[in-house]
Structure 1
């Protein structure tokens, strides 16, 4: 589908674009009427909005399910003393704050009049498996679906599926631009899950998409996989460079693009630190965002640390989003060090408007 001017209605493509290699740099080009479209320079499509949030299962569950989720994720790991202070009244207050935080992010999406959003997330043996696990992958299909089910409360991955509209032309622009800038993403034009086919697209994408209503508005969504649990996993510096590259790719194009970093902050579900939250680490990350010091996030994952293993690796998605807003102060919406949610829960956004 050709890129649309802002304010016009999208039209679905009838068939997949005819793509072929061009001699020279490793680009894909789309064949269109009158010839081949160049990967850049035809439009001005800035990345105008950045978003980031956690996607822990408790964020999307009613209060009565929080104990079961906590038990499933922590198992027999000794828990921190702060857990005892998290009474039902405290958790109820958190649930209200979580709803308000997602409402803020959703409002930002509406106010920025986005034409497409790139969700940066990881895959936890859902689509990929040990047969193949790319460090970076771009999904370029016309649509994609996946489950938002929470297995810890008995929901089946075959249920609670949502469908998201894709935008192949934007995805191919992203892919071509990354290849030009010495990144090597895998290309996915069809979702064929290797690990858990019944679940479809993984929870890093579907949960935040549902919370922000992307399945209702049908805002074109491009999943960008960045491996955070299984090797190969990029360093923080590589993630920040990836975000900067995305901003550069779309800097001179006309459509309005958003980028959403999904995951984190500190957590280690089912791991040896399950239930423990590293508040100093989380505050350091959020302070770098608030102070427009995102480049310092590139120091993360350049060394081994127990804290940075497990789910904390998803901070990579936040680093990608921060890189797309290099030198721009972000807005921290909320932070909740929730031991019952086994996660330091964070919400933030950046704006170029």
Structure 2
């Protein structure tokens, strides 16, 4: 049977690589060195789990899905995934990637999700954007493990509820636990804390709602499912920034982990957003 060796939930900042490595040192932002050190420490939480396969949760930033046809939930099933999109190369200096897929687990998970009442779309021609590539850059820069990508709709209302995202995480967890193959699986999902894109709150000294950010991190760190389900609605998320509904993908990862305390929690205030790094070890903490 498969072993879920780690669950990671973090923000995905597309400028990380450009800000910390690709910009001349004298021109980097003041937080660059601290940011890189925090990411490298976070990377070790995945490395210690010794994964052989990655289930990755992200969202398409209107690169291939649009308001006229945006799937609520989608899974990729193909032998190879290409990344990234031209605007991500141009604006963020994210390089191109080719990631191996795992069609066997994709097919098994797709059927398992249907059996559990989740009507997923499936793609055999999915191209990955920075919601998947950013955590590859930060947690597995060698890009040497096969992936099963799962995309959710966090951008085009109406969105599923926080409970639906959490329940989807529980379903993904049960499918991994039942997967009849001796393989170590890590689940990695990225989203946002309070975030404003293209709006008046975008360029402040910190994220749009720093108090909410700290509360949200505490929910995840403590595995406080009840607080999340009581307080996380589309309306409340949107009050904290027009892209804050991206937090729903982090709720999904809490569902994969279950109502347990995180083994690793870190954060960094980056003037217009707050970065967050959380790891749970459902099996055992390999660092102890």
TM value normalised by structure 1:
0.70
Unaligned runs of 5+ in 2: none
1:327 CA displacement: 2.1
Q: Tell me: CA distance 1:125–1:138, structure 2 relative to 1, closer, same or farther (3 Å).
A: same
| Aligned counterparts of 1:288 and 1:133: Cα–Cα separation in 2 | 29
Q: 1:116 aligns with which of 24, 49, 53?
A: 53
Q: 1:350 aligns with which of 263, 266, 280?
A: 280
Residue number in structure 2 paired with 1:144: 81
Residue number in structure 1 paired with 2:185: 257
Q: 2:224 aligns with which of 284, 289, 293?
A: 293
Q: What does residue range 195-214 of structure 1 map to in structure 2 within 5 Å?
A: 200-214=127-141
Unaligned runs of 5+ in 1: 1-43, 67-87, 192-199
Is the 1:49–1:351 Cα contact (8 Å) retained in structure 2? yes
| Aligned counterparts of 1:123 and 1:233: Cα–Cα separation in 2 | 14
Is the 2:54–2:147 Cα contact (8 Å) retained in structure 1? yes
Q: Tell me: CA distance 1:63–1:210, structure 2 relative to 1, closer, same or farther (3 Å).
A: closer
Q: 2:3 aligns with which of 21, 42, 46?
A: 46
1:226 CA displacement: 0.9
- CA-based RMSD: 2.6
Is the 2:14–2:92 Cα contact (8 Å) retained in structure 1? no
Q: Tell me: CA distance 1:303–1:148, structure 2 relative to 1, closer, same or farther (3 Å).
A: closer
Is the 1:292–1:329 Cα contact (8 Å) retained in structure 2? yes
| Aligned counterparts of 1:280 and 1:251: Cα–Cα separation in 2 | 36
Q: 2:261 aligns with which of 329, 335, 345?
A: 329
| Aligned counterparts of 2:280 and 2:159: Cα–Cα separation in 1 | 25
Q: What does residue range 137-176 of structure 1 map to in structure 2 within 5 Å?
A: 137-147=74-84, 154-155=90-91, 160-176=95-111
| Aligned counterparts of 1:113 and 1:309: Cα–Cα separation in 2 | 36
| Aligned counterparts of 1:296 and 1:48: Cα–Cα separation in 2 | 26
Q: How many residues align?
A: 274
Q: What does residue range 75-86 of structure 1 map to in structure 2 within 5 Å?
A: none
Are residue 95 (structure 1) and residue 95 (structure 2) matched?
no
TM value normalised by structure 2:
0.85
**Deviation digits for residues 24-61 of structure 1 (CA, Å, limit 9, x no counterpart):** xxxxxxxxxxxxxxxxxxxx113221112211233232
1:237 CA displacement: 0.9
Residue number in structure 2 paired with 1:77: none
Is the 2:15–2:92 Cα contact (8 Å) retained in structure 1? no
1:105 CA displacement: 3.1
Q: Tell me: CA distance 1:183–1:274, structure 2 relative to 1, closer, same or farther (3 Å).
A: same
Residue number in structure 2 paired with 1:315: 247
Residue number in structure 2 paired with 1:178: 113
1:204 CA displacement: 0.8
